[in-house]
Chains A and B, each alone.
Chain A
Amino acid sequence: RVRRNPNFASFNDPLWPEMWYMHCEDNDSECRSEMNIMAAWQRGYTGKDVVVTILDDGIEKNHPDLVQNYDPRASYDVNGHDEDPTPRYDASNENKHGTRCAGEVAASANNSNCIVGIAYNARIGGIRMLDGDVTDIVEAKAIGTKPDYIHIYSASWGPDDDGRTVDGPGRLAKEAFEKGIKEGRKGRGSIYVWASGNGGREGDHCSCDGYTNSIYTISISSTTENGNKPWYLEECASTIATTYSSGAFYERQIVTTDLRKRCTDGHTGTSVSAPMVAGIIALALEANPLLTWRDVQHLLIKTSRPAHLLAPDWKTNGVGRRVSHLYGFGLVDAEALVVEAKKWQTVPAQHICVGTSNKKTWVIPANKTVRTATVTNACADQLDHHVSYLEHVVVRVSIAHPRRGDLQINLISPSGTKSQLLGRRQHDDSSEGFKHWEFMTVHCWGEKASGEWTLEVQDKPYHVRNPEMQGKLKEWSLILYGTVEPPSSNVNSQHSRSRMMEMPSSDMEPSKVAFFQTQMEMQEEEEEYTGPCHTECGDQECDGPSADQCLNCFHYSFGSLKAGRKCVSSCPSGYFGDSVQRKCRRCHRSCETCLGRSQNSCTTCKHGFYHHQETNACVMLCPAGFYAEMGQRRCQKCHPNCKKCIWEMDRCTVCKDGFSLVDNSCVMGCKAGMYLIKEPVRCENCRSNCRTCTGPGREDCTQCGRNSHDWKCVPSCGENYYADAVPGLPYKVCRRCENNCTSCDSSGKKCLQCKEGFSLFSGSCVANDRCRNTDDLFCELVKSNKLCERKILFQFCCRTCLLAG
């Protein structure tokens, strides 16, 4: 709570009292000064000698609240190819945006006009580049304007958020970014602050905005006065931090300068947040002008925190930082930023480890999740590329898909941090898929880079789709950015004072409170723990004698930061030791002990499960051929003669072929043609004509010797029947010949002998009294058309057919 500091004069700017996000002078509503901007001013930082520019539709340089800080050298008109960035005026005032953003950064203080800018002594300019055709050239020119003079570029625009677009900086704009990062600010890198994806429409996902997904831009999102998610905000794994903005009913707005020398409270969205952070960074650059572009990102991540922001997905990453897709690492803290900036030591050089590309094609069935993992040593074998401590993680993905909007993509880091790289977009029915699109997450910031990275691709159709048209993950690769050494002493003060001050102990676990309190005491007294460390700490440092106070573990670390972590020499049951991460990881739920995470890595099983040695899995029911041995909870093999057995090896229930079950034992069966008598055990012959049987009776015959007739075995088939060979049966089956036929061949189609009163014609029986008197002509017709071969027709002219022979 930053109350009105009696010896800090208030401002006479008319809208100062409305600036609830700066101070708490309005006593009857909740104090929302957690961005601590005033506290930073009280430390003497107001952005002096820092130059900021707004990439937008222009800036009203003669606005009374801007004119004093306006800097022509930080301005340019790309649309008009001249030095004057004054916006084009029209009836709709459509080009008001740049002027509104500029006021947030550097509106003068105490000039009885409008508001007070966050860096009210910084110099402010504008690059007019949105008021006309925006092309790759235009963007490159804007981004690359005067990099040795301008320190901070603020942009509150991006690709269309129609929920269908996937777009980002073109080749030239990318080159301009890279050049700005390498050479800008005399090699310390231009600072690009970007408004996180949102254009005022819903159903989009900001990972399709290539600007906020760039590692070179500081992507900033927004929260409302009460810490709620503004209706327009998109989740984004690349968002670094958040500021207040407007965008919820019944909650207070942001005020700023407006076109035509006016003021407004109508500026909203993440358009508000980017300039705010630009202003806050200006304070930090005043505190430490030597900060590099990566230092600034480290500082923002270190000092931002959840405060009272409400997000369903707050999680703690692998190094204990709270992060969310809505708010990144949380609300910015200007005071903490300038304090840390003042003593900041430049982080080690950035290393880039480009992982090998996974080119195996995976089909993505609808309503299914494809999970593919890659294990990386984070280029440990390449000195200049080795990454130990992560910063940005980029995943370059190529996916073919019939309807791109149905896709959702997650990335899970070796420490288990899950980033949603892409959410589904209901309006995106493009069939273009993604071609080498680069998704970026900052959620793993500070974690160890080496280990197993898992990519999850889910296909969740919004509408019924042709099931045969499936997506394909064609290729994906990891690009890890970070450092080989820890970001040095900045890490030690990781739990910075402002963080602890801000996190009310009431909602922290007691252990954590105690932990922080001991930390606080330690810090305030600035004493290092010099006593002996626990053996499990190995030669690593510690800040206490017990195993949960090691800085790192010699063998394994067990537990989580939330539940408490300690170093152990071996992992408890239900866990296995991950030798790469030196961490105890959970076994599959059925395993009592295991060698890995999968269900086929069990070595012993939990109660109710049995270990199947052939698959190293723990199963509730042993497979055929095995029985559940209770004592050791193992599946043991049955007797070789048994196909199935229970309780004991030779307690058979089903025998293998050639064996017969006798009192739970499988004894050699009798040869064919005999059947088994159990008492005393002996073999007897089957009935005659019976190839196999189970007993002496007619019905006990299971296979006939020669023929089977009406399920009886007979030596030969009787009159009107023929013996038909049935595939798969060793004997023949008697079947009836055609009507009126008393004897037929083995095919049953050709009659050999007819009943009385029928004559045999070409294998068929014809009644004797039919077709004697057919006239010649008709027969000639039959004969000339050779119709006799047609069985149905030859009856019309039997005699002709007879003649035809």
Chain B
Amino acid sequence: SPGGSRAVYTNHWAVRVSGGAAEAERLAAHYGYLNLGQIGNLEDYYHFHHSKTIKRSTFSSRGPHNFLRMDPKVRWLQQQEVKRRVKR
């Protein structure tokens, strides 16, 4: 985490899925996420939202929805952290 301060986790995930949009949709539905679509123009990366996970937490999320991580179709997964950004 930057500067040693504790990470703040959100209820958003970046998921790298092999199998395209349909597969992403299936995975989201299966594990209780909402698929917010591809992340910009990054192929295979999808934006998932889990409404049952607390919006801000200093702990990374636990629960069955984390089984998504182990799904063979998931190549990479990252729970999103809030990054502190300042204007120059």
Which of A's residues lie within 8 Å of B, judged by CB? 56-57, 81, 97, 130, 133-137, 139-145, 147, 156-162, 164-167, 170-172, 175-176, 179, 183, 195-200, 269-271, 274, 428, 430, 432
Interface locus among B24-32, B63-71, B78-86: B78-86
User: A198 and B80: CB pair below 8 A?
Assistant: no
B58 on interface, CB distance cutoff 8 Å: no
13 contacting pairs across A/B (C-beta < 8 A): A133-B82, A137-B47, A140-B42, A142-B40, A145-B40, A158-B85, A159-B84, A161-B86, A167-B3, A172-B78, A175-B45, A269-B87, A430-B4
Instruction: Classify chain B: how many residues form its interface, as a range.
Output: 20 to 34
A160 near B3 with CB under 8 A, answer yes
A171 interface neighbour in B10, B78, B82, B87, Cβ under 8 Å: B78
Shortest A560–chain B CB gap in Å is 37
Residues of A within 8 A of B52 (CB): none
User: Within 8 Å CB of A147, what residues of B?
Assistant: 41
Q: Which of B4, B5, B87 has the most CB of A within 10 A?
A: B87
Cβ–Cβ contact A200 & B86, under 8 A = yes
Bound-state CA distance A164–B6 (Å) is 13
Do residues B86 and A160 form an inter-chain contact, with CB atoms below 8 A?
yes
Q: Identify which of B2, B40, B47, B85 contacts A176 (C-beta below 8 A).
A: B40
Interface string of B14-51 (1 = CB under 8 A from A): 10000000000000000000001001111001010000
A183 to B12, alpha carbons, bound, how many Å? Answer: 27
Q: How far is the CB of A242 from chain B (nearest CB, A)?
A: 14
Q: A144 contacts which of B2, B36, B41 (Cβ < 8 Å)?
A: B41
**Chain A residues, Cβ within 8 Å of B83:** 134-136, 139, 159, 167, 170
A274 touches B88 (CB 8 A): yes
- Given A140-B40, A145-B40, A179-B42, do A165 and B85 touch, yes or no (CB 8 Å)? no
Contact B39 A137 (CB under 8 A): yes
Interface centre among A130, A140, A430 (most CB of B within 10 A): A140
Task: Choose from B4, B56, B80, B88 the contact partner of A271 (Cβ within 8 Å).
Answer: B88
Are A137 and B87 in contact (CB-based, < 8 A)? no
Seen from chain B, the residues whose Cβ lies within 8 Å of a Cβ on chain A are: 2-5, 10, 12, 14, 36, 39-42, 45, 47, 56, 78, 80-88
- Closest Cβ of chain B to A272, distance in Å, is 9
CA gap between A137 and B80 in the complex, in Å: 7
**Whole-angstrom distance between the Cβ of B38 and the nearest chain A Cβ:** 9
Tell me which residues across on chain A come within 8 A of B3, comparing CB atoms: 160, 162, 164-167, 428, 430
Residue from A198, A428, A430 in contact with B88 in the complex, judged by beta carbons closer than 8 Å: A198
Indicate which residue in A135, A142, A161 contacts B82 across the interface (CB closer than 8 Å). Answer: A135
Across the interface, B40 reaches (CB within 8 A) one of A144, A162, A198, namely: A144
State the CA gap A469–B40 with chains docked (Å).
46
Apart from the given pairs A56-B87, A144-B42, A164-B5, 15 other A-B contacts in the complex at a CB distance below 8 Å: A97-B87, A135-B12, A135-B80, A136-B78, A136-B83, A137-B47, A140-B39, A140-B45, A141-B39, A159-B85, A160-B85, A167-B83, A172-B78, A179-B42, A200-B86
Determine how close the nearest CB of chain B comes to the CB of A369; give it in whole angstroms: 26
The 10 A-B pairs at the shortest CB distance, nearest first, are namely A144-B40, A164-B3, A165-B3, A195-B88, A135-B80, A167-B2, A199-B86, A165-B2, A271-B88, A141-B40
Q: By CB atoms of chain A within 10 A, which of B12, B45, B86 has the most?
A: B86
A130: B residues at CB distance < 8 A: 85, 87
Residues of B within 8 A of A166 (CB): 2-3
Greatest chain A CB density within 10 A among B5, B56, B88 is at B88
For B10, what are the chain A residues with a Cβ–Cβ distance below 8 Å? Answer: 133, 135
Q: Out of B2, B5, B14, which one reaches A137, CB within 8 Å?
A: B14
Among B36, B80, B88, the residue within 8 A (CB) of A158 is: B88
B88:A165 contact, CB within 8 angstroms: no
Q: How far is the CA of A170 from the CA of B84 in the complex (A)?
A: 13
CB distance from A432 to the nearest CB of B (A): 7
Return B51 CB to nearest CB of chain A, in Å. 15
Report whether A164 and B4 are in contact in the complex, using a CB–CB cutoff of 8 Å: yes
* Bound Cα distance A456, B87 (Å): 32
Measured between beta carbons, the chain A residues less than 8 angstroms from B87 are: 56-57, 97, 130, 156-157, 199, 269, 271
